[in-house]
Structures are given as C-alpha cells and as structure tokens.
C-alpha cells in the first residue's frame, strides 16, 4: 500500500502542478489586464489561488516521497494537499484526478500498517 500511495501521490502532484501553473497564470493575467475578468470571470481570492497553486503540488509530491518511510506523515501531507486543492480549485474536470489520486494515496498511506512485501 505504501508503493501505491507513492505512485498515486506523485501522479496527483504532477497533475496538481499542471492545474497550479494554469491557475497561477490566470491570476497573473487578471492582475495585468483586469478587464479580462469581466469577460472570462474573475477570481475572488487570488492570493489563495497562488498559494495553493504552489503549496498543494509540493505537499503532494513530498507526501508521496515520504509514504514509504514515514507513512503517517506522508499520508497527512497528501490529505492536506487534497483538501487545499479541493478548497481553492473546487472539484471539476481538471481537478478531479489530482484530488482523487492524492486523496486515495493519503488514505492508503495512513492505512499501511506494515512495510510492503518485496
């Protein structure tokens, strides 16, 4: 289960990075050309979006890396990344995979009681 948490966390973190790049970039575009917010839709809290765009994928990848050696801490980091992505970005077409993968990876890391068999 620790190996599954590792793989799911890394894939979820990479997908989260993609969502984070787009979200952070969108807030930058809106900061420079605020009139686009009227056409495309604005962002209520750009600081939150920018913070989670950076922090959630980093926490997911770090939690995945820790899942094998320190499963409880790795699982908690994966679940914190999941909650951050869900809170900041919501559950949609582009966020469902990173949220689901990081969440499942976090649960599997926490459920792992003994080291994986090789």
Going from N- to C-terminal start, the domains of the chain cover 2-111
Residue written as tokens 């869900």? Answer: 86
Looking at residue 115, what is its pLDDT? 66
Residue written as tokens 């689901």? Answer: 100
Q: What is the pLDDT of residues 15-31, one digit of tens each?
A: 999 999 999 999 999 98
This prediction has a pTM of: 0.90
Give pLDDT < 70 ranges for the chain.
115-118
In this structure, the number of other CB atoms found within 10 A of the CB of residue 118 comes to: 4
């Amino acid at each position: 289960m620790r190996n599954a948490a590792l793989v799911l966390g890394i894939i979820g973190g990479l997908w989260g990075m993609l969502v984070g790049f787009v979200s952070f970039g969108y807030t930058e575009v809106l900061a420079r050309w605020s009139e686009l917010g009227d056409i495309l839709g604005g962002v209520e809290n750009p600081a939150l979006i920018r913070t989670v765009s950076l922090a959630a994928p980093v926490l997911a990848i770090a939690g995945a890396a820790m899942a094998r050696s320190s499963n409880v801490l790795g699982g908690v980091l994966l679940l914190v990344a999941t909650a951050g992505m869900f809170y900041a970005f919501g559950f949609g077409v582009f966020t469902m995979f990173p949220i689901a993968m990081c969440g499942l990876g976090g649960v599997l890391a926490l459920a792992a009681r003994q080291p994986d068999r090789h």
